[in-house]
Amino acid sequence: MLAFFQDTAKEIASNSGLGIGAGLAAGLAAIGAGLGIGKIGGSAGEGIARQPEAAGDIKGNALVLAAFVEGVALFAAVIGLMLAVK
């Protein structure tokens, strides 16, 4: 497995512009997902604190929204990886 990552890193280094773009895509996807899920979690916690009887609905909606955010981040990371190994 380590050999695969080393070979991929060498290939990325040989594509100078694409490697930088792939790194930016993966990094920005991770940062965006972290910020999005943090905002969802904070808002869900605040909503549950204000209205405890709606905790089940709030948790369900927060889980669905977090899955959507993770899906977008996964697509961004895959596109960045596709750029890297082009």
The whole-number pLDDT of residue 79 equals 83
What's the predicted TM-score (pTM) here? 0.69
Binned at pLDDT 50, 70 and 90, residue 5 comes out as low
Gap between the Cα atoms of 5 and 51, Å rounded: 48
In tens, the pLDDT along 12-51 reads 666 566 667 777 878 888 899 999 999 999 999 999 999 9
C-alpha torsion sign, points 44, 38, 72, 70: negative
User: What percent of the chain is modeled with pLDDT above 70?
Assistant: 78
